[in-house]
Amino acid sequence: MAELVLKNVEKAYGEVKVLKDINLEIQTGELIVFVGPSGCGKSTLLRMIAGLERITGGDFSIDGVRMNDVPPAQRGIAMVFQSYALYPHMTVRDNMSFALKIAKKSPAEISAAVDKAARILQLTPYLDRLPKALSGGQRQRVAIGRSIVRDPKVYLFDEPLSNLDAALRVATRIEIAQLKEAMPNSTMVYVTHDQVEAMTLASRIVVLAGGGISQVGTPLELYERPENEFVAQFIGSPSMNLLPGEVIETGETTVVRLENGGLARTHVPTQSADKGLKVKIGVRPEDFTETDGDAIHAGTVEITEALGEVTLLYFQKTADGAQIVAKLPGIRPELRRTEVKLTADSNKVHLFANGRSLLYR
Amino acid sequence: MHPALQGLITIVVGVGGCIAYYYFSNLFLDKVLFPAKGAMAGRNINRANMVRPWLFLMPALVALGLYLAYPVFATIHLSLTQRVAGGGFEFVGFENYVKMSGEPKFWEALTNNLFWLIVVPAASTAFGLLAAQLSDRIKWGNVAKSLIFMPMAISFVGAAVIWKLVYDTRPAGQEQIGVMNAVWLSFDEGSIWSFLFLKLVPILLVAGFAVAIALMTWALAKPVVQRNGPVSGWRTAAAVLVGAGAVWLIYKSIFGILGIATASLPYGEPQTWLTMPFWNNFFLMAVLVWIQTGFAMVILSAALRGVPEDTIEAAIVDGANPFQIFFQIKVPQIMGTIVVVWTTITIVVLKVFDIVYAMTNGQWETQVLANYMYDKLFRANDWGVGSAAAMVIMLLVTPILVWNVYNARKEMR
């Protein structure tokens, strides 16, 4: 039951500003995911919300109360760490009751809260074990249980799944989604570098890059209407292809003459003044289709990767060193070393000028 | 020959000899004894590799055997024999031990050793832990650590000489060169500072000690007393024993507090600190605490840095204050190291000799076992009783040593 507001928040280490102009409003009940390349400051931002890092500029408030100088324990938050951070000398029960003991709750209250959390997370048989006697997934659940017993307003997750193996990661991801479902009023902030986690869990994704917020939006907004080249290439795998060119026709449908000789049509509208504008078009690998007519890209396939449901085509590098990748349905290994012409539906062709999408101006 | 030159030659010969031993014996093994060529090359290489560890261990084994293992057995033998007039020994069974247990000086040494055993490891470990924690995050922490560690580089005798100056006494009216007396003479009867430092603080310290003992004993005895869960017989016995010791210590503490409260202090008179029975023991212990705190601090500081940062952050988020983080998160995680440090210092304490020898030589009721042994063995020339005293020290050290090695190995795993 909490609304988080960050206003012009910044973080500086001495002279170096690692985060600046962070403006973000998180509504009650949302699950917000911070994504970004490593070193973009996403964990730092989470730790600032937690109170483990000092906020060096701007204001941060929870439910309208300024939290910049409030100690972590009084912010009504709970945090799940990447390495779980379980207390190794305490049993699961003691790990989960530590915060309540510190808060001087009565033993009956503590044991009721712990038992309830253990039931939700299926940890009841392990309550008297030490963390070292648990598997990775169980440890992760204890870490989550430690948060639940405190009944916080805001849950913070710092890359909680990155220490788990692939299968367990999927299972735990689903458990977290169910947990969120079961607690519709709690707000969660989740940091990850894994796109799939971001796309599946988030109600909104915050893409961080270069010390600021690149775009905020629902997962599909980011996928379908990226605001800039960075978001376009960061979301989706393999990354979106960017091809340079020049606008030759403007209007409801824009036509771009590409430097590789190709021709692209897009439903991103432009004004007549844009004629001759240097732009880049963006096409996701999965949006390419084979064609005999006007091609966006034509070239020789260097490598194919047949994954069963789809086949990835890697083309010879273009003159400016870009690697074009296409994802065609079905099993198509015979396309290797052949000439392939590709086009895309004009609804799915993105248009960028100076790094920013022409959809947003 | 000039002594410096002599020393240099000794170093060269000693180190050179070691290198020569390893180099030539290895060469001999590989080229002469089991040469790695000819028809038997494979077999020879295997054999050489089986012999090699023993070859390299040889100097250590010989030295330890000659200077450690053999003396142990010789001492056992000596403690059971007695010299006869005109030369030779005769077997007398446990007569030396009986004789020793009849001497009040032996019991005094044993009691004093027990006091050393309780106070020095506890104080050194506690101060070391405190210094390690406090110097962890400050800029000049490393300078502070170096200063605290420095006494480790001073020999026990050197430290004893330094502290003898600290406790030095000059006749009244003269300038005092001993710090203790200089401080003592600055106190006046009836002043607030005198009351604070000479009555209140000591009483609080002793009371704190008694409370700590009571808490520790209660923590140990709790499972036995409350009887939840199975409790083995030996554990009950151990609890009773520890409990009895604790009751005695607390009883002593209460009387100590009464003593401090009622004592009328001789203000204005320089004191001869080292001749005050009972208290002079603590003045001697201060020397060893001063030395060992550095050791404890260095080891515990490394251990504290090994505590995962995120468990501390998790505790911060959980709302723990710095004291709770220290005592409930950090200390339990380094408990293994604390035990190793504690037992290591305990062993040093059991062997303590130089400090007592150099400062009081066991006079004024400061005798300890090692100095008692030295007295008997080399001054009274009573080899039987001296060896018996040595055996008592060894019996006391061995279990702690075994436990120490066990814990140290567990820590390394």
Residue A279 has pLDDT above 80, yes or no: yes
End-to-end Cα spacing for chain B: 52
**Across the interface, do B317 and A51 touch by the CB < 8 Å criterion?**
yes
Q: B333 and chain A: CB distance < 8 Å anywhere? A: yes
Query: Could you report the predicted ipTM of this complex, rounded to two decimals?
Result: 0.80
Q: B318 and chain A: CB distance < 8 Å anywhere? A: yes
- Predicted pLDDT of residue B193: 77
Name chain B contacts of A162, Cβ cutoff 8 Å: none
Strands A310-315, A297-306: parallel, antiparallel or unpaired by DSSP?
antiparallel
Would you state the CATH architecture of domain A241-357? Beta Barrel (2.40)
**Contact predicate A98/A87, CB 8 Å:** yes
Write the residue in B308, B317, B332 that is nearest to A72 by C-beta: B317
A13-55 pLDDT tens trace: 888 888 888 888 888 888 899 998 888 888 888 888 888 888 8
The mean pLDDT of chain B is 83
Residue B230 has pLDDT above 70, yes or no: no
Q: Which two tokens stand for residue B328?
A: 């409930």
Sign of CA dihedral B20, B25, B26, B32: positive
Spatial separation of the C-alpha atoms in residues B276 and B366, rounded to whole Å: 10
Residue whose entry in the numeric block shows the structure tokens 């290994």: A333
Q: B402 and chain A: CB distance < 8 Å anywhere? A: no
Confidence band, pLDDT 50/70/90 cuts, at residue A6: confident
For chain A, which residues make up each domain, given as ranges?
Answer: 4-234, 241-357
**Across the interface, do A102 and B335 touch by the CB < 8 Å criterion?**
no
CATH homologous superfamily, domain A4-234: P-loop containing nucleotide triphosphate hydrolases (3.40.50.300)
Residue A89 has pLDDT above 80, yes or no: yes
φ and ψ of B135, to 5 deg: -90, 5
Closest residue by Cα to residue B277 from B106, B113, B103, B108 = B108
Spatial separation of the C-alpha atoms in residues B306 and B301, rounded to whole Å: 9
Closest residue by Cα to residue A101 from B315, B217, B218 = B315
- Predicted pLDDT of residue B61: 93
Write the residue in B310, B317, B318 that is nearest to A83 by C-beta: B310
Contact map slice: B 291-310 vs A, CB within 8 A: 308, 310
Name chain A contacts of B329, Cβ cutoff 8 Å: 87
Write the residue in A85, A89, A103 that is nearest to B332 by C-beta: A89
**Across the interface, do A72 and B332 touch by the CB < 8 Å criterion?**
no
Q: A50 and chain B: CB distance < 8 Å anywhere? A: yes
Mean pLDDT of B250-267: 81
| Whole-number percent of chain B with pLDDT over 70 | 96
**Contact predicate A335/A311, CB 8 Å:** yes
Spatial separation of the C-alpha atoms in residues A205 and A215, rounded to whole Å: 8
Looking from the CA of B253 toward its CB, the CA atoms found within 13 Å total 20
Residue A239 has pLDDT above 60, yes or no: yes
Residue A190 has pLDDT above 70, yes or no: yes
**DSSP states of A231-276 as a string?**
HHHHSSSSPPEEEEEEEEE-BSSEEEEETTS-EEEE---B-GGGTT
Mean pLDDT of A82-108: 87
Closest residue by Cα to residue A46 from A72, A70, A16 = A72
> A213: part of which helix (H) or strand (E)?
strand A212-217
Per-residue exposure over B117-126, b if at least 16 CB sit within 10 Å of its own CB, e if not: bbbbbbbbbb
Sign of CA dihedral A82, A87, A92, A95: negative
- Specify the DSSP class assigned to residue A228: B
The top-scoring range by mean pLDDT among A182-196, B96-110, B185-199, B215-229 is: A182-196
**Across the interface, do B317 and A52 touch by the CB < 8 Å criterion?**
yes
Between chain A and chain B, how many beta carbons pairs sit less than 8 Å apart?
61
Mean pLDDT of A310-328: 86
- Predicted pLDDT of residue B229: 54
Single-letter residue type at B84: V
Whole-number Cα distances in Å, B316 to A66, A79, A226, B138:
19, 10, 38, 20
Whether omega before A238 lies within 30 degrees of 0, making that bond cis, reads yes
User: How many angstroms from the chain centroid is the CA of residue B30?
Assistant: 45
φ and ψ of B11, to 5 deg: -65, -50
CA angle A250, A253, A258 (to 5 degrees): 70
Residue A1 has pLDDT above 60, yes or no: no
Q: Which two tokens stand for residue A107?
A: 């033993």
**Across the interface, do B320 and A52 touch by the CB < 8 Å criterion?**
no
Mean pLDDT of B223-239: 66
**Contact predicate B159/B355, CB 8 Å:** yes
Q: B320 and chain A: CB distance < 8 Å anywhere? A: yes
- H runs (alpha helix) in A92-185: 92-102, 107-120, 136-148, 166-182
- Predicted pLDDT of residue B238: 76
- Predicted pLDDT of residue B13: 93
Shortest alpha-carbon distance between residue A18 and chain B (Å): 21
**Across the interface, do B313 and A88 touch by the CB < 8 Å criterion?**
no
